[in-house]
Each structure stands twice: as structure tokens, then as C-alpha cells.
Structure 1
Amino acid sequence: MKAISQRTLGGPDVLETVEIDIPRPGSGEVLVRVAATSINAADWKLRSGVVTKLGPPPFTLGFDLSGVVTEVGSEVTEFRPGDEIFGNVVSRAGAYAEYVVTPAEFLTHKPARIDHAVAAALPTAALTAWQALTDVRPKQRVLVHAAAGGVGHLAVQIAKARGAYVIGTARTVNHEFLRGLGADELIDYTATDFTTAVSAVDIVFDLVGGDYAARSLRVLTPHGRMIDAQGEEPLVDPRYHRHYFTPSGADLKEIANLVTARRLRGEVERVMSLADVAEAHKLAESGRVRGKIVLTGWNG
């Protein structure tokens, strides 16, 4: 089968197509024919060596997948060959491939009303937002930074589904899009310092990094929560919380229910072929993507 691999760390051009054997599922695992995957920030950070959790190359990137089950391992009862699923892969043999093996507990059934491209855009981004905002209560004020991005646009919808008053930072060009997703108030971060435009926030969800976490503490209530999904250095403040997503088929099932109920939709800016993965990575790293970039097979 074809897969995308890299022999060294570096820029997008280190990504190359290779031929490898189709893997076989072990106990509790399923083999999936990948219909689509998507690019997350972790992908280019791992590719370049900014993050080293996969160890040294060679490895295959891709944490998200949507596809069709082709084989199940022992102890798997929820899925059978032919099922359309979506979910996560967290291993050195990721979803930038024709086939991938992943634990069944990382998957759930794909909502029938969306195609594989849209489904592949959801797992990591939606789980990040879903799990970070689990404590949101009705009428709370929630501020989402980078609200039009892959995680941000889902966080806006999830917070809104939980009854919050949602404020987002995004360029003006994305304000109409975000209002359509339910955002109540929007701030163009290129023109306005958000710390002067908003206050008394119950929860801040930071998807930018840098000094945004420290600045966000200024707009929080005394008992608010600053949820940081980007920063490298934790802040010494009881309101500060570093967030990492956890693969979970159970949580994805709840997310799928929102999708089916038309209360959550994933935005796909562009669908590209895995043959063009280097170009796709360059676009993803630009920081000017609304929603997600999705990758499909080598024929586009």
C-alpha cells in the first residue's frame, strides 16, 4: 500500500510517498481503509521536530481518519467489516496512508449525513474543543481565541450548544462566518486589543499561544478558567489549566450526535490529494486556514 513517510525532520519537502505492507489488526484493533484524513498543527510540528513525541523518523503522520472498516481484531464487538467510521490514530503509523490500524476505542460510526472529507476534519479538533469545554454552563461568558481555525470554529459551536455567550477573536473577514456558527460577539485581533474590548469572562480557550494566555488572565473573573491548548510554559495562577486532547470513541459518539442534530458542522477549506501533501502542509502552516485542510487518496 501507499503511505506518506519521512526519513528526516524538516520542511514539507521531507514528506514522500512510499510502498509498505498493509498492517494487520491485533486484539482490540481494527484495520481501516482510509477515505480521508486531515492536517492538525501537531502534524507539521512533528514533521519539523518542534514536537518529538513520535521519536526519530521514519514515521507516518496523520491523527484523524474517516474510512471503512476492512478487518477487526479479536475482542472487537462494536464494528464489523463494511462499517463507515471516523476517529483517531495515535502512533508512528498514522493515517496518511491507504490503510491504518487503530484501537477500536478511538473510533465511532460516521454520521450518515456527512461525507468522509467532513468527518475526517472533526476528530482531533472536535475532541480538543469538546473536552476543554466540558465544564461550560448556560449563560457563562466564553472567549475563544483563533475562533475561525480548525479547533476554534468547533469550540464556538460546542460552547454555544452548552448555552454559553460566546466571544471570539478572529479577523474581520471571518466574522460573518462565525456569526453563522452562533458567535455572539467578535473582536478583530488585528485592530483591537481584546483585553480592552472584553471583561468578566468565565472561560478563555486559548488556541494561539505566545502571550495570549497571560493576557487572557486579565479578562477572567476571579474564579474563571484559562484553558491553554497551545502554550509551552505553564502560568502560575490557579485559574490556568493546560489542556491536551484524549482519543475517545465515546466522546466522538456525542460529537456525532451533535452533527446529526445539525448543531455542529466542520468547515473544510480545501480537499487535497495526499500526492500534494507538501503543498497542503505549507498552506496549513500559513495560519490563514478557515477550518481544516483535508487529504484524500493519491487520485485526489
Structure 2
Amino acid sequence: MSKAFAYRAYGGPENQEFLERPVPAPGPGQLLVLVRAAGVNPVDWKIRNGWLGTGGPLPGVFGVEASGVVQQTGAGVDGFTPGEEVFGTAVAGGYAEHTLLDAAGTAHKPLGVTFAEAAALPVAAATAYDAVEQLGLEAGRTLLVLGIAGGVGSAAAQIARARGLTVIGTASDRNREYVEGLGAVQIRYGEGVADRIRAAAPDGVDGIIDLIGGEDLREAAPVLADRTRLVSTVDPGTAAALGGGAVHRAPAGAALTALAGLVTDGALDPRITGSFPLDRAPEALAEVETGHARGKLVLVME
């Protein structure tokens, strides 16, 4: 049996519980992994709330990203063997002692990357990587990240800086030092944000990655001359109305390999701001659910 943290029904935290489940068997294109670390993301509680649909089997185990050691491979899997250290997209819940990874969305973990760092990459950092790739800005250009202090924003800032971009981003004043540590300029949220962006970037910005949506996005958009260089992870409808669009996700395996290389080279710090044992998964998830978590939270299995 394998311990896991799950939701027994769609709704609030009252539906969460620890359970024992059989060790899952890998199907075609899957890897059975002994989990060493798992990322904690806003999408986890949104799935529990039923915001992304309610058709999945219950109970549902939390977590969509994990790192660990391959135990068994399913039919049709090439390039992975038992005993290898890997990280990727969890298809059987990452908040668990064992899970299944999608082989197409899995990469080998380099020796210079910890399990915790690797588990922090498949969702937030991979989304940031795809967003920066999609914008395709040249070195010397200026990127604005709306909501820069979170997991996606932190990664986007560093990936962009590694490509020679100037980065500015909106965040609360309490996060000023944190944002500056990313190599970016912090712009305070709230009324008048467009004026503060223009003051920080008098020549305008060349691209926007939106992680907030709504009124914040509408107010900031006028600082961007070419609206096709606007991508949003949270509000593609507003982005499209403004001339931009959604972030298009690329095949995950290649992006994860590239991200691991950036971590190895020191160009990307996953910015893990909190590590919790599996027994404290409810606490970690609650912190992310507040919407004020800075950087990345992970579960580390003992």
C-alpha cells in the first residue's frame, strides 16, 4: 500500500483526507515512480473545487508534478529504466509515496539538481518557459510580468533574464526585495499601475506575460505597442480581446530538459520558499490557496 493525500468529493478543504491506496500499476506510456518530492500548485485546489470539471474518479489524489526514482515502466516506454532519477507530470497524483508519470512529460533529473528543485519545474517553470518562448523577444527588449512574485512569475523573470531581457513586474511592496532578487524591477499593484510601469519603462514594454488577468491586465495593456506580444495563463479571454492570447504549451519533455539545464547552470533558481513533509500537505496546500504564497512550495518525502 502507498500513502497519499486526496479529496473524497469536489468542494472545499473539508473534503480532504489521507488514505492508503494500492501502489499504482503503470499503463502504456507511463512510469511508476517512488516519489521523492512533489510540487504544490494553485491548480491542485482548483481541481479539488471542481473548477476544472468534476468528471474525474474519486477519491482524487492531489498533485500534478513530482520527482522520484523509476520503479517500473509501462508498455511502449523507451528511454527510461528502473533506478533512474526523473521528474515530470504526475497522472496519478504527486502528493503520494508512489505515483505514475506520463513518459512523454518526463525528463531525467541531472545529478546537480535536487529532487525538490526538479519537482518544482513541471508546472510553473514549464509554463513560464513556454510563455517566454512564445513571445520570442530578442535580447535587450523589455518584458513585463503581471504577478511576478509567484511560481510562474519567478521562473519567467529568471528565464527572461538568462536571455538578456530587461524584466519588470507587478507585485506588492512587501515583495520588492524578493522581486529585485530575481533581477527584476518591482512595480506596485493597484490604481495607477500603468503610470508606474511607464515610469519604470519610459520606452514602453515589448512583451507582457499576464498571471493575474481581469482589470489588472486591462489597465496594463496600453503600455504594450504590439498587442500580439501579450500572453496570459489565467485570462485568455481578456488577453484575446486586447489583441493577445493564451500561452501555448509545448511538449513537456523537451522543456523540462531545458529547464533542468538552466538550474544546473545556475541561471534558474526554482525559488523554493517552503518545504513540507507529506504529513503536512494540508498546511502547504492551504498556504497556496490563500493566493499569497511567494515562490514555490514543495512536499519532500522522507
TM over 0.5, yes or no? yes
Deviation by residue 1:9-51 (Cα, 9 ceiling, x = unmatched): 2222321111111112223221111111111111111111222
Residue identity matched to 2:276: M
1:63 is aligned to 64
Name the amino acid aligned to 1:242.
A
- In structure 2, give the amino acid aligned to 1:154: A
Question: How far 1:247 sits from its partner (Å)?
Answer: 5.5
1:280 aligns with 2:284: yes
Q: Say which SS state the counterpart of residue 46 (structure 1) adopts.
A: helix
Aligned residue in 2 for 1:171: 172
Q: Give the SS at the match of 1:174.
A: helix
Q: Which residue of 1 aligns with 2:12?
A: 11
Structure 1 position 113, deviation (Å)? 2.0
How far the C-alpha of 1:238 sits from its partner, in A, is 6.3
Is the Cα contact below 8 Å between 2:122 and 2:252 reproduced in 1?
no
Give the secondary-structure state (helix, strand or coil) at the position aligned to 1:104. strand
Task: Deviation per CA, 1:91-131: give whole Å up to 9, x if none.
Answer: 4x211111111221211111322321222112101110000
CA–CA distance in structure 1, aligned partners of residues 37 and 18 of structure 2: 16
Q: Deviations over 1:173-218 (max 9, x none)?
A: 32222222221x221215x632112242111111112222222221
* More helix as a share of residues: 2
Match of 1:95 in 2: 94
Whether the 8 Å CA contact 1:12–1:279 is kept in 2: the answer is no
Match of 1:107 in 2: 106
Instruction: Answer yes or no: is 1:132 the counterpart of 2:136.
Output: no
Q: Could you say what secondary structure the match of 1:70 adopts?
A: strand
Asked if the contact 1:111–1:259 (Cα under 8 Å) also holds between the matched residues in 2, the reply is: no
Given the superposition, is the C-alpha separation of residues 261 and 136 from structure 1 closer, same or farther in structure 2, using an over 3 Å criterion?
same
3-state DSSP class of the match of 1:173?
Answer: helix
Could you tell me whether the CA contact under 8 Å between 1:144 and 1:152 is conserved in 2? Answer: yes
Report the equivalent of 1:43: 44
Q: Does 1:208 align with 2:209?
A: no
Query: Unpaired runs of 5+ in structure 2?
Result: 199-203
The percent of aligned pairs where both chains have the same amino acid is 38
1:159: which partner in 2?
160
> Secondary structure of 1:69's partner?
strand
Tell me, what secondary structure is at the counterpart of 2:34?
strand
How many angstroms apart in 2 are the aligned matches of 1:28 and 1:51? 24
2:228–2:245 Cα contact (<8 Å) kept:
no
Distance 1:110 1:189 in 2: 37
Q: Which amino acid aligns with 1:187?
A: I
Indicate the larger mover: 22-31 or 264-273: 22-31
Alignment of 1:15-34 (within 5 A): 15-34=16-35
> TM-score of the superposition, structure 2-length normalised?
0.90
TM-score (norm 1): 0.91
Name the CA shift for 1:54/1:41 in 2 (closer, same or farther; >3 Å).
farther
Structure 1: where are the runs of 5+ without partners? none
Pair 77,235 (structure 1): closer, same or farther in 2 beyond 3 Å: closer
- Residue 212 of structure 2 aligns to a residue whose secondary structure is coil
